[in-house]
Amino acid sequence: MRSRFSAFAVGDAEHLLRTWHPSTRPTDLVLDPGTRWYRLDVLRTDRGRLLDDDGVVEFRAFHRSPDGSGTLHEVSRFVRSGRQWLYVDGDVGTS
C-alpha cells in the first residue's frame, strides 16, 4: 500500500500497473501531473500478514491540485501473488 501511494506521489504509473491485479488492471494509466499527493494515513488493516493470501487496507490520502485540497478515503483489497501484494479494487470516497 505504501509503495503504491509513493508511486502516486512521484508519478510512477509503471509501478502502479505492475502492482495491480491482472483481473482489474487497466490497460494504461495516466496520472494527473497537477495533483500532488503528500500524506497517507493508514486507518485499518485486516489480514495481509506473512501467512495470509489476501488483505484489506483502509486509508486516507491527502492531495493538492490547482482546484484545491482534498482527500481520498478508500478500503482497498489486495491479494498475494508469489511474494508480491497486488491491488485488486477498493471502495472509494472523496472530499
C-alpha cell at 28: 494504461
Distance CA 25, CA 9 (A): 19
Phi/psi for 16 (5° steps) reads -60, -45
Distance CA 61, CA 84 (A): 22
C-alpha cell at 79: 491479494
Overall pTM > 0.85: yes
So what's the architecture of 2-94 in CATH? Answer: Roll (3.10)
Check pLDDT > 90 for residue 94. no
Instruction: Return the domain boundaries, the chain.
Output: 2-94
What pLDDT is recorded for position 47?
96
Segment 23-78, tens digit of pLDDT? 999 999 999 999 999 999 999 999 999 899 999 999 999 999 999 999 999 999 99
Distance CA 28, CA 55 (A): 25
